[in-house]
Each structure stands twice: as C-alpha cells, then as structure tokens.
Amino acid sequence: MKKGLLVLLALLVMSSVFAFTSRTVNPGGSVSFYSYKANSDADAMTVIAFLPQIGYFVVDNASVDLLLNYTYMSQDDVSASEMAIGVGGRYFYTISPGKLYGGLGLLYSSTAYDDEDGDYSESSTFLNFKAGYLFPIAKNVYIDLGAKYDMGFGSYGGDGEGDNEQGQFGINAGFQIFLTK
C-alpha cells in the first residue's frame, strides 16, 4: 500500500513538471451561466457572465492572472450589469491528455441596477475560487471546462448597504491559449 502511494505521488509530481513553463503568456476566457441568490428569501436569478483573463507564468505551472468580468442579470422588471476587475493565480497539473488547474482570486466589483425604484449602484469585493480541466484541441490551444465560486465579503459601497454575504456558483466553458517564448 505504501509503495503504491509513493508511486502515485511520484507520478503526480513528474506529470506536473511538464504542464507549462515560466514566461508563458496565457490569454483566454470563458462564458459562465449560473443561478444567483442574494439571500435565502430571494428568488433565483439567471445570470450570464463573460470572463476574459490574461495570465503570466512566473514559475513553471503557476500563473498570475489579471481577471476581468462582465455580467448581465435580469429578473422580472429588474436588470443589472456588473463590471469586475481583479488579480489571481492558478496552478496546473498535467493529467493526460489535458491539464487540471485550481485557482484563487480577489475581485473588486461595481454593479449598476435599474428597477421600478430607479437607478442605483453599489461596489463589493469577492474571493474567487476556481477549478477546471483543459482539453487540448490544437498545439497550445485548449477548451476550458471548469467551475467557479465567488464568495462576497466586507461591506457594500456606493448606494449599497450592509454586509456582502453573496455567494455565486457557476459552470464555465471557454478557450485558453498558451504562448511560450
């Protein structure tokens, strides 16, 4: 049993060595579809988000990412658009034939609402957790299938009031390109 675990650990370490090398640039992005609920008493809202990002591998297998998010939400007579910017990082493992990754980010968000009471806006912050799998489709081009969870924290700014207790879970699909030097 111990030998089997050691062999498995050695294979994982060896496979992660060949994921992506330092100085690789990674433009890409995805589209997310998720159900959003501000609190337990609210009705669910369907949300579509566009999530472009650019990463730079500072060391082998680990990237620092610039995150941009644009989200549009609509429910009954309420609509909202959200723009977010942030930084994050991801770590990659090679699992033949593709690559597995996990990441964490910090996002600052500004949201504009339009409803029967008029227009208002708020700002908020989120921790962004993500995991996914990259399927190769061409040399250095991958289909990205993953999931993300945004966890709100702190207090709302702007016209918003109270603590940010939002939670958003989404499933993403997109493309990633890895440009090596």
Asked whether residue 78 carries a pLDDT value surpassing 80, the answer given is yes
Block residue for tokens 């597995």: 100
Residue among 82, 92, 123, 89 at smallest CA distance from 106: 89
Q: For each of the domains in the chain, give its residue range(s) and CATH number, in order of start.
A: 2-177 (2.40.160.20)
Amino acid, res. 28:
G
Q: Which two tokens stand for residue 62?
A: 């680990």
**Does the global pTM surpass 0.75?**
yes
What are 114-142's pLDDT values in tens digits?
Answer: 888 788 899 999 999 999 999 999 999 99
The least confident of 18-22, 80-84, 117-121 is 18-22
Spell out the long-range contacts of 65-69 with Cβ–Cβ below 8 A and sequence spacing 24 or more.
65/26, 65/89, 65/90, 65/103, 65/105, 67/105, 67/107, 67/128, 69/107, 69/109
